[in-house]
Structure 1
């Protein structure tokens, strides 16, 4: 129950319904949105919310639901129910299109059985009667017109019409050609008048051709004549068309008679389409407002986490602004929240957000709040927002407020939610404050839940001293005199009356005079509240700063871990390379020593020959000895390296071109191959010192990489040809260091897709394979990710 009835409008729920209606595909869906009611049955609320959540999941994460046609087949079914009535060709086409959509939707969910249980419940036990479609398709073509061969009689009549039209056309062409040859015709060609094909004749020649004059030109110089010979044929055509129309009505009447037993089933199909359109519209609106499914409990309590007003959110999104989120809890311990603070600080918006989101949930709508939010079920809503003075009822503003308070106190209970804006205003504060306090105490005694906004100090003091009632305030920057729109629960807030008045520019002497007229106690209270607000602002700023610093520390730690892992991996690679290189050096040294000894023996220790062999050994030793100066020089040149430079490995004569620089490593193209080396292991060389053959090969490789595309289309190929093409692409991708491939193979029966994936699984370099997104080709495209 909502009191008063216009609470829906004041909270903004009517605007929400209009936004949902804009997403509907059919009038039936819009009518269902108009009938949205605030429910109090926990099971119903859970069901409607789950349906919207599942449909939102389909829209965002699954293949598109095959919803194409939404027609009002309820009206058509009711028409077909009448004996002797028949549906037109267009109406049968609407039934056919709607049933095609229904069956496609049912098949969609059958393929995903158990994945969307609440949506599946919409058509549970609903049979798929394809006999209806077969009967209609036998008569109606895909364009919505009756088929020429819908019956034997219609086929004969259609053939007769075609034959007569052909004969009439041949005859009139012959007469027109003859008249033109005699110069009797006016400028122009054959034309249609009153649905009949006519010859344009000059008026003075109208007696030279026998026939019926249908019309004349505005000047009277041209007449439009239907020749006598053609007149009889056209009459025959007209008679055949009448026969055809009677035969069509006969066919449509028989088809309607066949459809009549299925009328109850058609109404069920109509109901399914309407509900689907309705749930779809709710889900699209939820996507617009970034709505989520909160936790629903069958209790009178509420916990909002990062909640936002949906209408304010949409308006701000257009202006690229952000809504400050609301965090609030109303339960047995904190039944009523008394919100205070400055004017234009967001108190009313805060309260309207609570009311609107609660109503949306109980109407089966997802809300713009965190999934961790907990929303209960309230049996009654009592709302007092705005000015409800009435001239007809002789009610002033305050009288209208009191009338509502009377109703609240008499009818509210522990399962009611009350929302009262500017509690106690409209009369002398000296008396309005105590009355408001008494009403608040009475509501609290009845364990009512809710939120009120106020400027009255006595209500703030009462809330601070009463169990079940909690103070809250909207934070305010009293330095810049700007509201922060953040709700802080636990402390009351100052109205900042003097500060705001000073900012507006009220004269200083007026402000000073006003300050002398308030009591010392009130002045101390307000000063204390302002001080508390300042402290809260400082604490909030400190918390934000600490959070920012913590995020920076976390980011640095994560980066450090990545670097550590990267260094560990490269350390293993370098050690392995060094061991392999040392092994080669030792093997080569052994061979050289053995050869040297053999030479000395063969030359009988000839001194000159021995000296030459010793010098050769020293040269090899120096070649494999690290040169500190060279390392330093290379290190000094590290900073000068850039992509495209030519470099030489310091421990060999190998030359290549820099393709990429990654931190302390460089990727070098050496002919058709690529290798990774540390910057300190390479030194920059001039392009002229590199042999032309090496430069040519490197240029060719760079060109190949630039022109290489990691995509291939094998649709329509034989399996063997497709696998051969993919293998060539796979080899080139590995050689050039590409991370993934895209293979377009189409859907079909899935055989080619299966063979390709089985073939690629045998390669160790393949990490995984995935389908393309459903909206961009689905399982007709395979992505191959390489290690």
Structure 2
């Protein structure tokens, strides 16, 4: 017959449990999760967390963790406070009990917290809309009506609000009135019997108003004795005058409690009516809190989400043990399960072998539990059917187990349970017995695991296992490096070569006498000595090769950066050249159009006047047209010469700018002469033609060597130092720039930028006298203007405005 199982039973059967979780410290990860949980519901899920062998369940859990991880990094922690444990209260209510005020306030707090959690949903469209996190938050059921009813009815766990019902309000009002009547009567009694009172106060005994009377005079007041003091010197008497009123107060107190019980019962009924939605919210909040806890430890560990595979391939890049502080642990690269399935790790003691085994095993368990792990992006983790480990010295006096026996008991268990895709981790395999027998046994165990298809990581000091890894397919050596110069381990795992135990070096470092070390070396066989030297030389060569690779990679990166920089400069030069040529062509075109229009006008005038002109006069006018035409051609030649000067392509940025040197001004597109050395702020005074301006050093370029010198023109008026472009630039700037600048209404940085640009435009346009309007106000703009003018070399002088000029609200300046 077939055995029927539920979904929960099938899921539980895929969980990895047992001693391996504590061996690899997974229980400590669970404890960290519990500390992060904000609710008792989430904490219970965290405490029950176990790795699973279901790849699809792992992917879903990892994605949920990553979603919350992304949300927290972007928006902060989820509001998970205020979710009290309502399960005992709900069970009590379902059993017929009435919830007290404390329990009802807890229900209101839970419902308010549900509403706060729902408030994290974005108002509009978000790139997180398809997150499972948001789907769960949307599925929460709010009940503001019930929360408001509880909050408005109950003030605290000991006090019901007067307005909880009209009946309760009326009862308490009548109680206050009767209490006032009682006090009035008792005040009169106290006034008449002051000499027999222990003190002039009204007290309450057994919920009835009484007076403290000296015991010797108790017969002088007609009333009921309700209590006596511990010394017997005072009796508390209820005068007969207030007995009836106290009786009515007692009746009202009973009615008040009955009304409070009725209200509590009514609110309890409302809670029971909403219990199904409340219980559903509990389950949803538990899952959200669980995912939040996983995301929070991922943030603490600086973790990443690895890729998942079912092929048994592990590739952890820069993996860190999650229980070792990340500022002290040395990251390690671990790769196994693709080209080889067995990794034999050797190296010095305290070199990191055991930590690397635990890191690989623990990170695998964490991924299978849906947790992100402290590795670099691009890492990959495998899903295994079994994770089995033998790590540490588990000798037991009670069970008469030695170190070897304890290890062997674990290995026997591992051999029996290797099934399907299995990850096996073995520390110091074969140790604790005769070296020859231990090595042979270790090789046999590794070979059996290899034949069963297990992915195995094992540490050893046996040279026989190193030889086994070299000579067998699917098995590879790995070594933790040791720096013989510093006598310190590097904690770096190198795959593909065996390592040395460095027992002699470590012993010497710890203070063992040299004589003993020399004697020990002398007792080694020649083959063993040669093997040790070979391994040491291999380690030195590998370190040197790695150093050269690192250096070559750095040079490659630098070369790529320089290549990209040169390409950008080439593109900039090409763009500048194109701009200069286009500007020159446009200039020539405009010049020719002007000349054509001028000649056409002269021709029209000649035709118009030809009827009344003599032949000689017509010939004279035609000669004028010819002269104008020749002059235009000469001007065109002069412009071509100017274009040759203006077409100088900018070269490299000058290392140093010297006075008198020629430099191409990129912002103006002309070549000028430096009038002075650069100032401290990097400004240089340049002269181009008739224009003197100030530019930044980075706006200057060295002209190329083949820059043509300007050719002398036959037309003297057109021979200028920088061509027609400079003259037109100066004319255009003068025509567009006003002699007044308005700064009122601008912020400080805006005003400073506008003022510097304005001085530049005035300098280019040949405007010398300027007026700057900054207003009086707080004086901030005036200070900015004064500071700017005082340090600008283009400003000859400046002063505040005089009466009629704007007074202190303006500054008058003169430019050089």
TM-score strictly above 0.5: yes
Aligned to 1:784: none
SS in 2 for 1:530: helix
Q: Aligned to 1:419, what secondary structure does the other structure show? A: strand
What whole-Å deviation, never above 9, does each CA across 1:328-355 have from its counterpart, x for those lacking one?
A: 2222422111111111111111111001
From 436, 443, 449, the equivalent of 1:437 is 443
Paired with 1:465 and 1:193, the residues of 2 have a C-alpha distance of 97
Q: Which residue of 1 aligns with 2:712?
A: none
- Other structure's SS at 1:22 match: helix
| Equivalent runs, 1:306-705 vs 2, <5 Å | 306-312=318-324, 315-317=325-327, 321=328, 323-552=329-558, 635=674, 637-642=676-681, 663-664=698-699, 672=742, 673-676=754-757, 701=781, 703=783
Measure the CA separation in 1 of the matches of 2:256 and 2:585: 95
Match of 2:718 in 1: none
Of 488-497 and 28-37, deviating more is 28-37
Q: Would the aligned equivalents of 2:102 and 2:157 in 1 still touch at CA under 8 Å?
A: no
User: Is residue 91 of structure 2 the alignment partner of residue 39 of structure 1?
Assistant: no
**1:280 — aligned with what?**
292
In the TM superposition, what are the counterparts of 1:134-173 in structure 2 within 5 Å?
Answer: 136=150, 139-140=153-154, 146-168=160-182
SS in 2 for 1:401: helix
402-411 or 457-466: bigger deviation: 402-411
Question: Which range moved further: 272-281 or 375-384?
Answer: 272-281
Q: Is the 8 A contact 1:478 1:534 kept in 2?
A: no
Quick one: which of 301, 309, 314 aligns to 1:302?
Answer: 314
Identify the residue that residue 115 of structure 1 maps to in structure 2: 129
Write out per-residue CA displacement over residues 678-730 of structure 1, whole angstroms, 9 at most, x where no aligned residue: 999989xxxxxx999769989853646999xxxxxxxxxxxxxxxxxxxxxxx
CA change 1:395–1:389 in 2 (3 A) is same
Q: Which residue of 1 aligns with 2:38?
A: 25
Counterparts in 2 of 1:510 and 1:221: CA distance versus 1, 3 Å: same
Rounded to whole Å, the distance in 2 between the matches of 1:678 and 1:400 is 88
Q: Structure 1 residues 380 and 423 mapped into 2: Cα distance closer, same or farther (>3 Å)?
A: same
Deviation, structure 1 residue 519: 1.5
CA distance in 1, matches of 2:241, 2:183: 11
Q: Distance in 2 between the 1:159 and 1:404 partners?
A: 78
Distance (Å, rounded) in 1 between the aligned partners of 2:210 and 2:559: 91
Match of residue 28 from structure 2: 15
Structure 1 pair 249/696, CA: closer, same or farther in 2 (3 Å)? Answer: closer
Describe the shift of the 1:89–1:448 C-alpha distance in structure 2 as closer, same or farther (beyond 3 A): same
Counterpart residue number, 2:807 = none
Pair 1:368–1:64, CA change in 2 (3 A): closer
Is contact 1:638–1:680 with CA below 8 Å preserved after alignment?
no
Q: TM-score, normalised by structure 2?
A: 0.67
Given that 2:676 and 2:685 are in contact with CA atoms closer than 8 Å, whether structure 1 keeps it comes out as no
User: 1:11-49: per-residue Cα shift (whole Å, max 9, x none)?
Assistant: 221221222211122233222221111211122222222
Deviation at 1:308, TM superposition (A): 1.1
* Alpha-carbon shift at residue 115 of structure 1 (Å): 2.7
Correspondence 1:264 to 2:261: no
Answer 1 or 2: higher relative contact order, Cα 8 Å, separation at least 6.
1
Q: State the 1:674 CA deviation.
A: 2.4
Bigger mean CA deviation after superposition, 450-459 or 406-415: 406-415
In 2, Cα distance between the equivalents of 1:505 and 1:702? 76
Q: Deviations over 1:361-419 (max 9, x none)?
A: 11121111123111121111111011122233322111121222222233313411111
- Tell me the distance in 1 between the aligned counterparts of 2:575 and 2:276: 71
Q: CA deviation at 1:509?
A: 2.2
Q: Normalising to structure 1: TM-score of the pair?
A: 0.69
Q: Provide the residue aligned with 1:749 in structure 2.
A: none
Cα distance change of structure 1 residues 517 and 242 upon mapping to structure 2, 3 Å threshold: same
Q: Is the 8 A contact 1:74 1:270 kept in 2?
A: no
Q: Provide closer, same or farther for how the CA distance between residues 494 and 254 of structure 1 changes in structure 2, counting only shifts above 3 A.
A: same
Give ranges in structure 2 of 5+ residues lacking alignment: 1-13, 589-644, 646-658, 664-671, 701-738, 743-753, 788-816
Moved more, 515-524 or 195-204: 195-204
Within 2, Cα distance between the matches of 1:212 and 1:525? Answer: 108
What is the CA distance between 1:109 and its match in structure 2? 4.8
Paired residues, what number? Answer: 653
Structure 2 SS opposite 1:364: coil
Contact 1:384 1:404 in 2 (8 A): yes
Inter-CA distance 408–66: structure 2 relative to 1 (3 Å threshold) = closer
